[in-house]
Chains A and B, each alone.
Chain A
Amino acid sequence: MSTLAFLGEFGEAIQFIFEGETTREGTQVGGSQFLELTVEHIKVSVVAMVVACALAIPLGLWLGHIRRGSFLAISLSNVGRAVPSLALIAFFVAYLGVGFTNVTLALVLLAIPPILTNAYVGVTQVHRETVDAARGMGMTEARIALRVELPLALPLIFGGIKTSAVNVIATATIAPLAGVTTLGDAIINVSGYGDVGRLAAAISVAALAVMTELTLGAAQRAVTPRGIRLESGRPSRRRTLSTRIGRTASP
Chain B
Amino acid sequence: MDAATLVLDEATKVYPGQDEPAVDRLSLEVGAGEICVLVGPSGCGKTTAMRMVNRMIDITSGDILIDGASVRDRDPAELRRQIGYAIQQIGLFPHLTIAENVATVPKLLRWDRDRIRARVDELLALVQLDPDETRDRYPAQLSGGQRQRVGVARALAVDPPLMLMDEPFGAIDPINREKLQNEFLRLQREIRKTIVFVTHDIDEAIKMGDRIAILRKGGRLAQYAPPAELLMEPADRFVEDFVGADRALKRLALQRVRDIDLWRAPLARAGDPVASVRAQTAACDLPYPLLVDEAGRPLGWLSEAALAGETVTADLVSDPQPIVELDDVLRDALSDLLQHESQYGPVVDARGAVAGVLSIEAIGHALRDSDAVPRAADAAVEG
Contact = CB atoms under 8 A, between A and B. Distances in A.
Interface stretch (A59-67, A130-138, A188-196, A203-211): A130-138
Interface in A139-185: 139-140, 143, 148, 151-152
A238 B95 CA distance: 13
A219 interface: no
A209 B314 CA distance: 86
Contacts of A137: 80-81, 85, 104-105, 108, 154
B91 A138 contact: no
A231 interface: yes
Interface in B77-107: 77-82, 85, 87-97, 104-105
A230 B87 contact: no
A226 B91 CA distance: 17
Contacts of B78: 138
Given A138-B108, A227-B97, A133 B77 contact: no
A229 to B, nearest CB: 9
Contacts of A139: 77, 104, 108
Contact of B87 (A132, A228, A233, A238): A132
B161 to A, nearest CB: 15
Contact of A152 (B77, B80, B94, B105): B94
Contacts of A140: 77
Contacts of B164: 136
A221 interface: no
Interface string B256-296: 00000000000000000000000000000000000000000
A225 interface: yes
Nearest to A225: B95
B140 interface: yes
A233 B94 contact: no
B77 A129 contact: no
A181 to B, nearest CB: 44
Contact of B91 (A134, A225, A230, A238): A134
A151 B54 CA distance: 26
A240 B247 CA distance: 44
B95 A138 contact: no
B95 A228 contact: yes
A214 B108 CA distance: 39
Contacts of A152: 94-95
B184 interface: no
A186 B95 CA distance: 47
A179 to B, nearest CB: 46
Contact of B138 (A133, A138, A227, A238): A227
A137 B140 CA distance: 21
B93 A130 contact: yes
Given A225-B94, A227-B94, A231-B94, A136 B80 contact: yes
A133 to B, nearest CB: 3
B235 interface: no
B139 interface: yes
B56 interface: yes
A68 interface: no
B318 interface: no
B90 A133 contact: yes
A249 to B, nearest CB: 20
B42 interface: no
Interface in B323-340: none
A129 B79 contact: no
B71 to A, nearest CB: 13
A133 B94 CA distance: 12
Given A129-B90, A133-B87, A139-B77, A230 B138 contact: yes
B342 interface: no
Given A137-B80, A138-B80, A231-B94, A129 B89 contact: yes
A167 to B, nearest CB: 29
Interface in A212-226: 225-226
Contacts of A24: none
A136 B140 contact: no
A132 B47 CA distance: 13
Given A136-B54, A138-B108, A139-B77, A227 B89 contact: no
A213 B87 CA distance: 41
B91 to A, nearest CB: 3
Given A135-B56, A139-B77, A130 B94 contact: yes
B176 interface: no
A227 B147 CA distance: 14
B141 interface: yes
Contacts of A131: 91
B95 A227 contact: yes
A234 B140 CA distance: 9
Interface of B: 54, 56, 76-82, 85, 87-97, 104-105, 108, 138-141, 154, 164
User: Top 8 closest A-B pairs, CB basis?
Assistant: A133-B91, A225-B95, A138-B81, A227-B138, A138-B80, A136-B85, A231-B140, A129-B89
12 contacts: A129-B90, A130-B94, A131-B91, A136-B56, A136-B80, A136-B87, A138-B78, A138-B80, A139-B77, A140-B77, A143-B108, A152-B94
